[in-house]
């Protein structure tokens, strides 16, 4: 029986799913007494360092946790739980850490996007039984803005990872292990590490993986997207539009079942799976229980990050019952989502922000980011090109134009990217660059950049759009819409700074396997291979 410390601040579902998948049973532990009786303890740390330390203190969990750690009993800490083992963090300078190791946690600084999101490698500092089965070429899934610097770290460091600077990505000390990455979201490599801990055998041989890189690199992510909606018979199906039109001969296109397709993409090596509930803007998602069930079922089979979008906003139903966007997001996180993606509501929030000139503090973006962290909030933008002859002639002063190499139908040399809401049905007087920048300012952690003109066309990503938005923000940008062949991914990653590519149609129609995309990229940019 594995004890899992559930201190109430985060979603522990994914970790429970991973442990159960490995054939072990989980007991959730949330009281000091239960914690004191734990033998093998897993501690998934989520969110803000200060919040974590405060909750541990207020719930009386801090002392029994320190006792467990000092006893030498088996312990697996994840993400912020690794950071908590040190003396303190820049994220909450007034909160003391557990102080098991000397040193302080620092924020990433420099040019690279923060948070550090995605699949990065490991360099082993020492041999360990925890590394059984690792050859050193594995990549694991990280999502964090703070790190334990490699410089000054002690003998506890098991692996280091590079992201602008070298940092401690795992520690191992007797039967204690902690990782900055998320093993439960790191595919087979993560499951292997968890298994090495769960089935730990004191006599096991210490392994030094033979193929560790000299320097690790963050992989460009390949994301499979499943647009989901009810078909005309009311069943949830994966569909796919052509410039957002998902009907063919009057019927909703049906490309398969959401859970089965997601599991298939996981097996094929997708780095993430995104579900977009494309009618979420009109059907309130908490009334749409099948979508929650799809997520729950998928999270039991898929051990890479899951994002869910569609209908994340405040909502009052016809009986006058109010649900906040935060509550909707919370249901999705509890069902197994790692991130939520906000579309129409983000545009409304930015319009309000531009009007008032200030953040309300109450928007869905701000509220969800405060509770679940910036990395949990993705902004899905659905822009469409609007051509103009004169960049000064745009409907509003804040709208940013770009000069385009693909002139408009009347030879226009400039365009701006108009944001739309409700699945492209309504254009708003605000552009994609401004929406991306304001959402970053309000706390979003990532931009999912669709493009209505390219969606479903197979004509390639709109590289001008990707470059412009990438330049406008410091958070990761996922380029979406238009992938038709492997060359389109190569062009994306070699001519823009996109952090990830999302595609749907070519995967659903089995035109290009995910592995073929990775193979095409292999010699040019870092990718994760199975």
In 3-state terms, what secondary structure has residue 243?
Answer: coil
Stretch that binds ligand 1PR, among 96-104, 130-138, 342-350, 431-439 (CB under 6 A): 342-350
Smallest gap from residue 449 Cβ to ligand 1PR (A) = 10
Smallest gap from residue 343 Cβ to ligand 1PR (A) = 3
Q: Site residues for ligand 1PR, window 23-62 (CB under 6 A)?
A: none
Active site residue 184: yes
Q: Is residue 418 a contact point for ligand 1PR (CB under 6 A)?
A: no
Contacts for 40 with CB less than 8 Å, ≥ 6 apart: 1, 2, 3, 73, 74, 75, 198
- Rounded Cα distance between 89 and 147, Å, is 9
Q: Is residue 278 a contact point for ligand 1PR (CB under 6 A)?
A: yes
Contacts for 408 with CB less than 8 Å, ≥ 6 apart: 385, 387, 415
Q: Which is nearer to ligand 1PR, 345 or 464 (CB)?
A: 345
Among 123, 482, 498, 520, binds ligand 1PR (CB under 6 A): 482
Active site residue 439: no
Smallest gap from residue 277 Cβ to ligand 1PR (A) = 7
Q: Which is nearer to ligand 1PR, 180 or 344 (CB)?
A: 344
- Rounded Cα distance between 411 and 418, Å, is 19
Q: Is residue 338 a contact point for ligand 1PR (CB under 6 A)?
A: no
Q: Is residue 344 a contact point for ligand 1PR (CB under 6 A)?
A: yes
Among 138, 455, 464, 499, binds ligand 1PR (CB under 6 A): 455
Contacts for 184 with CB less than 8 Å, ≥ 6 apart: 14, 15, 17, 18, 44, 78, 190, 194, 303
Q: Specify whether the CB–CB gap between 266 and 515 falls below 8 A.
A: no
How crowded is residue 426: how many other Cβ atoms within 10 Å of its Cβ?
Answer: 12
Among 74, 310, 336, 383, binds ligand 1PR (CB under 6 A): 310
Q: In residues, how long is the chain?
A: 530
Spatial CA neighbour of 266 closest among 300, 309, 294? 300
Out of 95, 184, 195, 351, the active site residue is: 184
Among 156, 338, 382, 440, binds ligand 1PR (CB under 6 A): 382
Take residue 218 and report the two structure tokens written for it.
């963050």
Smallest gap from residue 93 Cβ to ligand 1PR (A) = 36
Residue nearest to ligand 1PR as judged by C-beta position: 423
Take residue 81 and report the two structure tokens written for it.
């739980």
Take residue 300 and report the two structure tokens written for it.
């039991």
Q: Which is nearer to ligand 1PR, 198 or 463 (CB)?
A: 463
Contacts for 318 with CB less than 8 Å, ≥ 6 apart: none
Among 183, 190, 258, 309, binds ligand 1PR (CB under 6 A): 309
Q: Is residue 450 a contact point for ligand 1PR (CB under 6 A)?
A: yes
Q: Which is nearer to ligand 1PR, 159 or 380 (CB)?
A: 380
Q: State the DSSP H helix or E strand holding residue 251, giving kind and residue range, or none if neither.
A: strand 251-252
Q: Is residue 503 a contact point for ligand 1PR (CB under 6 A)?
A: yes
Q: Is residue 456 a contact point for ligand 1PR (CB under 6 A)?
A: yes
- Rounded Cα distance between 525 and 218, Å, is 9
Q: Site residues for ligand 1PR, window 204-243 (CB under 6 A)?
A: 225, 227, 240-241
Q: What angle do CA 25, 51, 111 make, to 5 degrees?
A: 100
The single residue listed with the structure tokens 């749409």 is: 288
Q: Is residue 264 a contact point for ligand 1PR (CB under 6 A)?
A: no
CA torsion through residues 141, 144, 145, 150, sign: negative
Q: What angle do CA 157, 189, 110 make, to 5 degrees?
A: 55
- Rounded Cα distance between 246 and 2, Å, is 46
User: Residues in contact with ligand 1PR, total (CB under 6 A)?
Assistant: 33
The single residue listed with the structure tokens 């070699």 is: 494
Q: Is residue 281 a contact point for ligand 1PR (CB under 6 A)?
A: yes
Smallest gap from residue 455 Cβ to ligand 1PR (A) = 4
Q: Which is nearer to ligand 1PR, 128 or 418 (CB)?
A: 418
Stretch that binds ligand 1PR, among 33-41, 230-238, 335-343, 392-400 (CB under 6 A): 335-343
CA 491 to each of CA 267, 451, 463, 483, 517: distance values in angstroms, whole numbers, following the listed order: 25, 16, 8, 10, 12
Smallest gap from residue 332 Cβ to ligand 1PR (A) = 12
Q: Which is nearer to ligand 1PR, 312 or 442 (CB)?
A: 312
Q: Is residue 480 a contact point for ligand 1PR (CB under 6 A)?
A: yes
Out of 48, 144, 182, 488, the active site residue is: 182
Smallest gap from residue 379 Cβ to ligand 1PR (A) = 9
Smallest gap from residue 223 Cβ to ligand 1PR (A) = 9
Contacts for 47 with CB less than 8 Å, ≥ 6 apart: 9, 10, 80, 371, 372, 373
Q: Which is nearer to ligand 1PR, 7 or 281 (CB)?
A: 281
Spatial CA neighbour of 455 closest among 385, 525, 503? 503
Out of 48, 51, 68, 79, the active site residue is: 79
Catalytic residues: 79, 182, 184
Summarize as ranges the residues that interact with ligand 1PR (CB under 6 A).
225, 227, 240-241, 244, 246, 276, 278, 280-281, 309-312, 341-345, 380, 382, 423, 450, 455-456, 480-483, 502-505
């Amino acid at each position: 029986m594995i004890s899992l410390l559930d201190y109430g601040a985060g979603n522990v579902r994914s970790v429970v799913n991973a442990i159960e998948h490995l054939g072990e049973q989980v007991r959730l532990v949330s009281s000091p007494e239960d914690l004191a009786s734990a033998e093998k303890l897993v501690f998934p740390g989520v969110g803000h360092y200060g919040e974590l330390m405060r909750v541990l203190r207020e719930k009386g969990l801090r002392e029994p946790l320190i006792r467990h750690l000092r006893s030498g009993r088996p312990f697996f800490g994840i993400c912020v739980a690794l950071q908590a083992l040190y003396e303190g963090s820049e994220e909450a300078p007034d909160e003391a850490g557990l102080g098991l190791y000397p040193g302080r946690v620092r924020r990433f600084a420099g040019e690279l996007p923060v948070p550090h999101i995605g699949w990065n490698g490991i360099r082993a500092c020492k041999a360990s039984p925890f590394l059984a089965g690792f050859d050193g070429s594995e990549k694991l899934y990280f999502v964090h803005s703070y790190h334990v610097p490699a410089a000054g770290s002690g003998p506890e460091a098991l692996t280091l990872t590079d992201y602008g600077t070298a940092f401690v990505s795992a520690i191992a000390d007797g039967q204690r292990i902690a990782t900055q990455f998320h093993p439960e979201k790191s595919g087979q490599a993560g499951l292997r590490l968890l298994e090495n801990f769960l089935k730990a055998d004191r006599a096991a041989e210490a392994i030094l993986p033979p193929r560790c890189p000299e320097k690790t690199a963050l992989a460009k992510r390949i994301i499979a997207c499943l647009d989901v909606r009810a078909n005309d018979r009311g069943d949830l199906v994966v569909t796919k539009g052509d410039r957002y039109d998902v009907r063919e001969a009057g019927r909703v296109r049906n490309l398969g079942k959401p859970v089965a397709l997601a599991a298939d993409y996981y097996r094929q090596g997708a780095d993430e799976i995104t579900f977009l509930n494309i009618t979420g803007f009109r059907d309130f998602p908490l009334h749409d229980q099948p979508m929650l069930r799809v997520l729950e079922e998928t999270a039991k089979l898929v051990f890479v990050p899951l994002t869910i979008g569609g209908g994340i906003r405040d909502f009052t139903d016809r009986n006058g019952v109010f649900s906040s966007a935060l509550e909707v997001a919370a249901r999705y996180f509890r069902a197994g989502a790692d991130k939520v993606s906000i579309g129409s509501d983000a545009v409304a929030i930015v319009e309000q922000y531009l009007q008032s000139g200030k953040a309300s503090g109450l928007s869905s973006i701000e509220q969800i980011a405060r509770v679940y962290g910036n990395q949990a909030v993705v902004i899905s933008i659905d822009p469409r090109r609007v051509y103009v002859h004169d960049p000064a002639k745009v409907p509003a002063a804040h709208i940013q134009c770009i000069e385009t190499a693909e002139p408009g139908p009347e030879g226009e040399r400039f365009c701006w990217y108009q944001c739309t809401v409700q699945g492209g049905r309504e254009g708003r007087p605000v552009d994609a660059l401004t929406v991306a920048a304001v959402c970053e300012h309000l706390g979003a952690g990532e931009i999912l950049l669709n493009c209505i003109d390219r969606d479903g066309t197979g004509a390639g990503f709109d590289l001008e759009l990707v470059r412009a938005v990438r330049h406008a923000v410091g958070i990761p940008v996922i380029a979406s819409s238009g992938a038709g062949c492997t060359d389109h991914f190569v062009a994306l990653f070699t001519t823009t700074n996109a952090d990830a590519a999302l595609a749907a149609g070519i995967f659903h129609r089995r035109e290009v396997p995910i592995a073929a995309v990775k193979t095409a990229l292999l010699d040019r940019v870092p990718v994760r291979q199975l």
